[in-house]
Amino acid sequence: MAEQVSRSDKNLDEIDIKKYSVPYSTTFWATKEWKERDERLKKAIDEMLPPKTETDMVNRPPHYTQHPSGIECIQVTEHMSFNVGNAVKYLWRCDHKGNALEDLKKARFYVQREIERREIAERNAELAGGGDETPEPL
């Protein structure tokens, strides 16, 4: 059995780790009985948990379905113009997909495109004598 060492016995920098390490196969937890017990415990826990379902990354990806309201992102964005819908989509998923900063920058990109599109439409309407109409969503 490995020798027990306390902090007061030696300076930790002076301890030879190899001298005090014990191979896993000789430890209490590596016995056959404990391995079997561990497997039974894992099985019992798995049986108590709800069954695992496969994630449908095409039709219902989790980063679009995790909103507390239960609404899926596409249910909202399909009623918007392309640029506005994409901006909302990237804002919607930014905290759920991995790289929030990248998604926020993408949202900004689409907002900027929509601003430019509307400014151009507004100028064209003024040149045509139409006033300040908001352009139709694309």
122 and 74 co-located in one domain: yes
29 and 83 co-located in one domain: no
Mean pLDDT of 24-41: 69
Residue pair 118/112 in contact by the 8 Å Cβ criterion: no
42 and 66 co-located in one domain: no
67 and 123 co-located in one domain: yes
pLDDT in tens, 11-22: 555 556 555 555
Q: Which residue has the higher pLDDT, 2 or 101?
A: 101
* pLDDT of 59: 79
pLDDT in tens, 115-136: 999 999 999 999 998 655 566 6
- Domain interval for residue 36: 12-48
Judge whether residue 5 has pLDDT over 50.
no
pLDDT in tens, 66-89: 878 878 888 999 999 999 999 999
CA-wise closest residue to 103 among 56, 59, 55, 64: 64
137 in a domain, yes or no? no
Structural domains of the chain, count: 2
7 in a domain, yes or no? no
This model's pTM is above 0.75: no
38 in a domain, yes or no? yes
72 and 106 co-located in one domain: yes
113 and 90 co-located in one domain: yes
34 and 86 co-located in one domain: no
116 and 82 co-located in one domain: yes
Mean pLDDT of 104-112: 97
